[in-house]
Structure 1
Amino acid sequence: MYWDQITTKNFLEHIIGHYDTAILPTGSVEAHGQHCPLGTDNMAPWYFAEQLENTYSDRILILPPVPYGHTPDLSVWAGTISVSASVLQQYVAEIGIGAAQWGIKNLILLNGHGGNTPALQAAMEQIAQENVRVVLVNWWLDFSQQILTITTSQGHAGEDETSVMLAIAPDLVHMDDASFNPFRPRYRMKGPGINDKSLRHATTGDGRLGTKEKGERIAAVVVQELSQLLERLWNDDLFERTS
């Protein structure tokens, strides 16, 4: 069910005590190459959340998304809006704490933007203090092994992300403007001139290789993995033995 579509009366009578799991999509508004929409990092996790709601509407609540993220490296590109990491951290933490007030014991942060990760990890610590189990999912990273059985590479507005957008919002993708960034940093770096190569065209990887068919396969894999995560969460099966 969608949290913001429920009335207060129905929330009191049918939600509290019956639903203990919520999903909070987080993303960003930022340049994605010259071919993908600024809201790519919001659209992908929201799509995945919608698919989960279709299957688990009687068990999960979908919170309204947090659409702005921490993306200073792309702030020079037209249309990008970046918020500070500290603001994002506190905002997400207070949302999670607010959800806990109404019975949420399991919260999945379904993230679409890598720059959000440090802030989300810090927010998790605050939310967990409210006796909530919090799981952070970076879909392109946590399921990278599976995605790379479908694509030859990954990247910001690259093959994998472009493919997903072609599958879920094809009218918003302009493949004639897709590009390839041949540079890959050897180290984690910040400083003058670095983004000219590391984020050339506001891209990493090769967006030209994206296809709708690949995107449909990636989306199916991500939803399958997220479904497994939910089942493991409910069965208290979040750890695996290494020996």
Structure 2
Amino acid sequence: MRLTDHPWPDVEASSTDLALLPVGSTEQHGPHAPLGTDALTAEAVADAGAAATDREVVVAPTIPVGVAEEHRGFAGTLWVSEDTFRRYVREVVESLAHHGFDRVVVVNGHGGNVAALRETCARVTRDGTAYAVAFTWFDGVSSDLPMGHGGARETALLRHVAPDLVREDRVEAARAEGADRWGEWVSGVNLAYDSASFTENGVVGDPGAGTAADGEELLDDAAAALSTLLDSVADRPVGGDE
């Protein structure tokens, strides 16, 4: 059940306490992929996970802006501070819990959100507001496709769920001008704070390496992993691990 598609009496009649909250980012993903990649993929995985489980689950609206200042060198990228992001996510989870949806999986599509989401989910859990965990879809799948940024894994999933938004005529240039790895590493330290300092066009990896068929497999794998996670979350007590 997508919350935004239903009138309030339908939501009130729901008997579930499970909710999915997709969270993404609005940031550059190279010249070939849309700024909304992380939000699009998080939402697609949340919808697929809800369809894959036998449990009733509500899907909240996607949070489209996250912790992404590292991409500020590329036009269109939006970001908020970690404090703002944590507070916003926490208050959305609290509002879900107010209506009885107090077991929440945050479905994340952006690496820059990971640390803040871990802390936020721990806080609302320890406070007894809800039991919440964060599921980052590209970490929850088994795939030979490397992650990168705007690379094989993300582009493959986009080719499956939003093919019209991939600028296929720019993929070769995206590959040629992208970086091989994320950051500039010395003695185990990443010296680069912003992606523009190590990738000319924002890409890390090879966006041409992942096909639409690969993307379909990624979505199926992510949905299965999310369904399994929902089974575990459904059995967790609100109030943490005490």
Secondary structure class of the residue paired with 2:147: coil
Is 1:155–2:145 an aligned residue pair?
no
* 2:89 equivalent in structure 1: 92
- Give secondary structure in 1 for the equivalent of 2:150: coil
- Give, in whole Å, the separation in 1 of the partners of 2:233 and 2:193: 44
Displacement of 1:169 after TM fit? 0.7
**Letter of the aligned partner of 1:205 in structure 2?**
G
Q: Which of residues 36, 60, 63 is equivalent to 1:63?
A: 60
Kindly indicate whether residue 173 of structure 2 is the aligned counterpart of residue 172 of structure 1. no
Root mean square deviation, CA, Å: 2.1
One of 68, 74, 78 as aligned partner of 1:77: 74
Structure 1 alignment gaps of length 5 or more: 237-243
Q: Is the 8 A contact 1:140 1:147 kept in 2?
A: no
User: Helix, strand or coil for the counterpart of 1:205?
Assistant: coil
Q: Which moved more, 1:164-173 or 1:128-137?
A: 128-137
Taking a change above 3 Å as real, the CA distance of residues 158 and 9 of structure 1, as seen in their structure-2 partners, is: same
How far off its partner does 1:114 sit?
0.7
Structure 1 residues 101, 188: CA separation in 2 closer, same or farther (over 3 Å shift)? farther
Q: Which amino acid is 1:155 matched to?
A: G
Q: List runs of 5+ in structure 2 lacking aligned partners.
A: 237-242
Q: 2:74 is paired with a residue of what secondary structure?
A: coil
Query: Percent of counterpart pairs with the same letter?
Result: 27
Amino acid at match of 1:168: V
How far apart, CA to CA, are the structure 2 residues paired with 1:132 and 1:192? 34
Q: CA deviation at 1:20?
A: 0.4
Q: 2:212 & 2:195 partners in 1: Cα distance?
A: 32
1:132 aligns with 2:130: yes
Matched, 1:142 2:114: no
Q: Figure out how many residues of one structure are paired with residues of the other and give that number.
A: 227
SS in 1 for 2:116: helix
Q: Distance in 2 between matches of 1:218 and 1:192?
A: 29
Specify which of 19, 33, 37 is matched with residue 36 of structure 1. Answer: 33
Deviation at 1:193, TM superposition (A): 7.8
1:57 deviation in Å?
7.8
Deviations 1:22-77 (A, max 9, x none): 00000011110110111000111111122233344861000111011111111110
Structure 1 window deviating more from structure 2 (19-28 vs 207-216): it is: 207-216
Cα separation, 1, equivalents of 2:168 and 2:207: 8
Aligned to 1:226: 226
TM-score when scaled to structure 2?
Answer: 0.86
Over 3 Å counting, the alpha-carbon distance change for 1:50 and 1:115 in structure 2 is same
